[in-house]
Amino acid sequence: MKLIISEKEIAAKRIANILASNGSDDQKIYGVPVHHFDSNGQEYKAIGLKGHILKVDFPKEFSNWFKVDPAALIDAEIEKAPIQKMIIKALKKVAAEASEVIIATDYDREGELIGYDALQIVMDTNSTLSSTRAKFSAITPKDIKEAFAKNGKIDLNLAFAGRARQDIDLIWGATLTRFISLATFQVKDKFLSVGRVQTPTLALIVERELEIKSFVPTPYWEIGVKFRTGDGEEFDATHKKKKFTKKEEAEDAFSKIGEIGKVIEAKESIRDIKPLTPFNTTNLIMGGSSMGFTASRTINIAENLYMNGYISYPRTDNTVYPQTIDLAGIVKTLGESPHFNELSKAILSLDKIVPSRGNKKSTDHPPIYPTAVASKEKLKPDEWKLYELIVRRFAATLLPAAKMKRIAAKIDVNGEIFVANGSSIIEKGWIGHYPYYNHKDVFVPELEIGQELTLIDKAFEGKETKPPARYSQGKLVQKMEELGLGTKATRHSIIQTLVNRGYVRPNPLEPSEKAIAVIKMLRKHAEKISSPDMTSELEMYMDGIANGDETREEVVDRSRDMLRVVMEVLQNEKEEIAKEIKKGIKEDLVVGKCQLEDCEGNLIVRVARASKKRFIGCNAYPKCRNTFPLPQKGLLVTGKDLCKHCEHPMVKIISKGKRPWDLCINPDCPGKDEKYRNYKNKKQSSGADSKS
């Protein structure tokens, strides 16, 4: 009997259904689904894991935060501990009867490590087992059958690179998190998380916020006009200077504008709008972000689509289709759907299908593309939205370039020069089947030099420069990739961790005062932690492990040496560090201004001494006894938003495994639905009458 181990249960079930000659016999061992089937006379059993079944951790004697110096963790031994005990028991039971194990986890560092750990467990149970590795990029009949027909071996270098990442992230994360948390007395559920990749990522968000806060707007003035041709065609133009920084100069130019304009330059050109490049993980996340999905949500949906055989593996850097992909065959299959029939016809009508190419080419996985046609009725709404985006992006890489006509003209109005720029799509090409492309035609008629135009309107407008925008999750992932922070498999989860820890508010990403305080402190006392340079350097070393140029032990020890230097600085400046961070934490407790008449206090998050329950109360207590109840579970994140219904402050509740909940603190808010109105009846639980 051959044992197949996949990364998730859904993948195990699909693989069994694809390979089975006469269907599979599903059973449960210790509550874990096992799929038993025959294929070409050979008996198989397939088990799906739940991602990692082992985790890295320190020995128990290092678990007490108050008794162990954080610096002692740098050189502490690292163990592997079980986190999926029933799956491990089931693996051992089935492995005892097997002759061969086939690792069929996702083919990347993470998947290779998951497969390696599972392999070690079954080999410890049955040392006579032979092992092979099935590599595939899509869970389709064709890909799975080909993968299992030519099994290879597990890539130990890739697995050890994944293990090095685990070790390094544990050492850095645990050491720094304990130090910062203990120094500021933020322990248990209030601990302050610091990480090798997480912290420089947070630094990007904080730096952008500080830019916004320190931004001083600069006034400027714009002059616009509207012309009419002799044929009655109307169009807009702007002064060639675009922005006047001196009002007097703008007013002088505006006063000179007469009633007639004369064309002194007219140019017409046609340019191609090249097809988009194939989707890789970063571009997919950016596409999902533009549709309102968080980075984590985009990847979770994509993984479901992959596991169900609708798209290829969604964790890839590649933007070049390999020649082995039957592009025309996929297009024909998509044509079976009424949603994509016209799109399919447009591609198949071409003389030759020539796909676009990005600048990143790798051999582990192809770019993300559809592998089967899906039905809108069988997918959840969000799944369909992302699937359609992937299908249309795929089509956009195969269709011809669009063509845009551009007209640029300069018009003299009594010595003041105005510029008109028009554009229109004259051949839709790939744009005709890609509704996510934003372009608005700007009309400018065909003009001739010397042609006179009638000025029918003019406008003088004062404006101010605007600060840079906060990062969207998609833009941040792009920036992380550019700086070498994290990997295609981890960037989305790093951002989600920052949200879950209460460091940032999602989309656009806005840091809390606590986050700003932590980053300012690290910038001042230990800049290396918040800089991407150290992290990208370690990523380079881990790439060296994957390529066989470095060993896991060498890279992990190198990271320990880096951390030792950082910790020495932090320990010497502990008191100042604690003072700076505590100030930020205190500011985060402020929810907003007290709204009672004649009260100038602030509403803050408080904890009742007797009941230990949290509530919102005025800091002018006991003079002001204004209070509001709060849910007792979940991470509480304060903000500056006011309720659109009653203008009371809003807070965000973040609970593991649930979507963040935006809550108006006013129990009588007219916008609250019945599900949350019951907080009105829980005021007594707020501890409003307790001293705090």
Q: Which amino acids are annotated catalytic?
A: 313
Phi first, then psi: what are they for 507, rounded to 5°? 45, 90
Q: In what order do the strands lie in the sheet with 590-593?
A: 590-593, 602-607, 614-618, 627-629
**Cα 33 from Cα 105, distance rounded (Å):** 16
Burial status of residue 678 (CB atoms within 10 A of its CB: 0-12, 13-18, 19 or more): exposed
Q: Which residue has the tokens 């996510």?
A: 436
Sign of CA dihedral 589, 590, 596, 600: positive
Residues 412, 414, 417, 419: what is their CA dihedral angle, to the nearest 10 degrees? -60
Q: In sequence order, what DSSP letters do the residues of 140-168 get, joined into one string?
A: SHHHHHHHHHS-B---HHHHHHHHHHHHH
Instruction: Look up residue 461 and give its DSSP letter.
Output: E
Cis peptide preceding 508, ω within 30 of 0: yes
Give the list of residues 6+ apart from residue 669 with CB closer than 8 angstroms, or none. 643, 645, 646, 648
Q: In sequence order, what DSSP letters do the residues of 6-25 get, joined into one string?
A: ESBHHHHHHHHHHH-SS--E
Instruction: Look up residue 665 and give its DSSP letter.
Output: S
Strands (E) in 480-564, as ranges, are 504-505, 510-511
Phi first, then psi: what are they for 239, rounded to 5°? -60, 140
- Give the C-alpha distances (Å, rounded to integers) separating 530 from 74, 175, 566: 19, 15, 11
**Cβ atoms within 10 Å of 106's Cβ, excluding its own:** 25
Amino acid (1-letter code) at residue 224: G
Nearest to 280 by CA among 374, 362, 343: 362
- Give the C-alpha distances (Å, rounded to integers) separating 298 from 283, 375, 385, 447, 661: 11, 19, 10, 47, 19
Residues 102, 107, 109, 110: what is their CA dihedral angle, to the nearest 10 degrees? -80
Tokens linked to 129: 């087992």
Instruction: Look up residue 632 and give its DSSP letter.
Output: S
Q: 135 and 147 in contact (C-beta within 8 Å)?
A: yes
**Cα 365 from Cα 89, distance rounded (Å):** 32
Bridge-based pairing state of the strands 130-133 and 100-104: parallel
Backbone torsion region of residue 101, taken as left when φ is above 0, otherwise alpha when ψ lies between -120 and 50, otherwise beta: beta
**Cα 630 from Cα 637, distance rounded (Å):** 12
